[in-house]
Chain A
Amino acid sequence: MDDVTPEGETPEREPDATPAGAEPAPASDAAHEPQAAPGAPATPPDAPADDAAPAPPPAPRAAPVPRAARPIEPPEIPIDVPRGRLSAQTRRAFLLFTGGVIASAAGAWWLLPDATRRRLLPDGPRADLDSLAARVGLARANRERVLDRALTFDDDVAEALYSPNRAVRTYARDQVTPLRNNYDGRTPGPEILDGWALRITGLAAGGIVTLTRDQLLARFALREQVTRLVCVEGWSAIAWWGGIRFADLLAAFPPAPGARWVAMRSSVNLDARGNPDPYYVSIDLGTARHPQTLLATHQNGAPLTLEHGAPLRLLAPVKLGLKNIKAVTDIAYTTPEPADYWNERGYSKYDGL
């Protein structure tokens, strides 16, 4: 490798090469550092002379620049590389690049939802592309497996981040913001309140426990908290809730040994046309025992409205809103993980915040 010289424009004719990676000779060091120095927008006084000079003097003109004055970015040092080897490296780099472009394009097509593909390409070419992709293993089933795996990985990360002792941030009552009714279907009517009772199964004592709203409120202390409800859609609202602690209910009616999950169900849930569409969520027992997890009966100091889950809803501020099931009718403690309504529709089943 030749020392860098300002006039080194004809590298092919340079007579000798020194090994690459060698430190620049002091002469070159001294010649370059002042010019590359930071904080010197003005041209160094000797630069114009350098510009015009045919060649730099071979001997050092100045003492080496002290370390403190060294620029953070050393001057670029050109190296001479045999043409053949450079071509081979270039060829390899561009082959890798082309491979990456093809892999990215194929991967992008593979990951795209079917509806998006339908919008992007007409049926004929799309079918051709899909069958081509399937031939190299980029089939729809594999895509779902990969995306599910990513979702599970994200759930594992969330579980690792979770601490049962960490309290969710609480707010003052005057920080409450409007909370929308996000029932996916039609909001149930007041008829669900008649004769409502919470059914609990999977208990250590066996059998079924049935508790009315009055019995629940008479037996357990009413707790109040102002927390944020975060929806998977991205909106959030601060709300003032009142209810009994799920942990208190668990202490009074302990689950069967080995139970790890709570299957919560609203059998009165409706679809958009008003037909029965039971809603169900899976909650791990740890979340149920969290001190801020409530079986809420009140909002803003008044009994829950039908829009927000009367007569009783789950309020688990460590979980996304979709886990906060409204109008709960059944609680079952289970050993295997229960089904989850939105998980069956492509969302995470962990949903931890």
Chain B
Amino acid sequence: MPEPRTARDTTVRIVPKHHALVRLTHWANVPLLFGLIASGLAIYWAAPVFVHAWNPATGSRDYLADLGIAVARLVHDDHAATWFYDHFSIGSGMLARALRLHWVLAYLFMVNGALYVIGLAAGGGWRALAPRPSDLGDALRMMRFYLGVIPMAILRRPWPHPPVRSKYNALQRAGYLAMPVLGALVVASGWAMHKPSQLGWLESAFVNYDGARIVHFACMVAFAGFIVPHVCLAIADGWDTLRSMVVGWSTRIKESAHG
């Protein structure tokens, strides 16, 4: 940028958005989380934690298997008992393989998480994630906006976006800050299960062994619960937003006065 401008040069005005490490680790999370969930559910199959009394009719005591059985009946699939695990994990009856995959991906996920935190610190991106006092009210305004955006489009009534002068709106900020927190929690509960004797203090932090399993499972659900709206909103927001996570900059210049 310091080079002098020649007559033929044209410039583009951009805003730097994401540090290279943040972008790299963001996209690396896609295959890693996908693989961790697929192998994790195959591990969960071996000893589900959310169970009911044995049902002789379905041969199941696992709520996730029940869900699969219900779907399999609807679509007339013969493999009802394993339908859920055959469609949402690498498969049933392959615990050893699932464990080995899970360890490979879990170590990569931890390295990825560390690189992400370094990227946040190096690029100053953490500042945009830091919560602020106005967040609660702003988040409620954003929720109201999202709830109304489709009805108002149908009614053809103006429905202005609440003003946002920071990099993210309050809802985005809460969601994006929740990701590293959730990542730390999923890693901690994973270690609590993996080494409950040597890391007994960590196991106790989750009350007991099953507590760590439940938290680990809940983290997976929370990741999935974040990813679905995140992908929808990022696509809805348009090419500039998607591109910014690849190239690191945006051409969308915020106007300070009305965001």
Q: Using a CB–CB distance below 8 Å, which chain A residues touch chain B?
A: 1-2, 4, 6-9, 11-12, 14, 17, 19-21, 31-32, 35-36, 38-41, 43, 47, 50-51, 71-84, 86, 89-90, 93-94, 97, 100, 104, 107-108, 111-113, 115-116, 119, 146-148, 150-151, 153-154, 158, 161-163, 166, 168-169, 228, 230-236, 317-318, 342, 345-348, 352-353
Contacts and interface: CB of A to CB of B under 8 A. Distances in A.
Interface centre among A21, A75, A78, A168 (most CB of B within 10 A): A78
B7 interface: no
B91 A119 contact: yes
A36 B256 contact: yes
B134 interface: yes
Contacts of A9: 253, 255
Nearest to B35: A108
A338 to B, nearest CB: 19
24 contacts: A8-B253, A11-B12, A38-B133, A38-B134, A41-B138, A43-B163, A79-B1, A80-B12, A80-B14, A81-B14, A82-B5, A83-B9, A90-B243, A93-B247, A93-B248, A111-B35, A150-B104, A154-B107, A169-B203, A233-B47, A234-B47, A236-B210, A346-B97, A347-B99
B16 A150 contact: no
Q: How many interface residues does chain B have, given as a range?
A: 35 or more
A6 B11 contact: no
Contact of A107 (B27, B31, B47): B31
Contacts of A353: 195-198
Q: Nearest 9 pairs between A and B by C-beta?
A: A11-B13, A346-B96, A20-B1, A38-B132, A234-B47, A233-B46, A80-B11, A39-B133, A235-B47
Given A32-B256, A107-B31, A119 B195 contact: no
Given A38-B132, A93-B248, A150-B103, A78 B13 contact: yes
A342 B100 CA distance: 13
Contacts of A90: 243, 247
Nearest to B20: A93
B53 to A, nearest CB: 13
Contacts of B1: 1, 17, 19-21, 79-81
B44 A72 contact: no
Contacts of A17: 1, 5, 11
B31 A4 contact: no
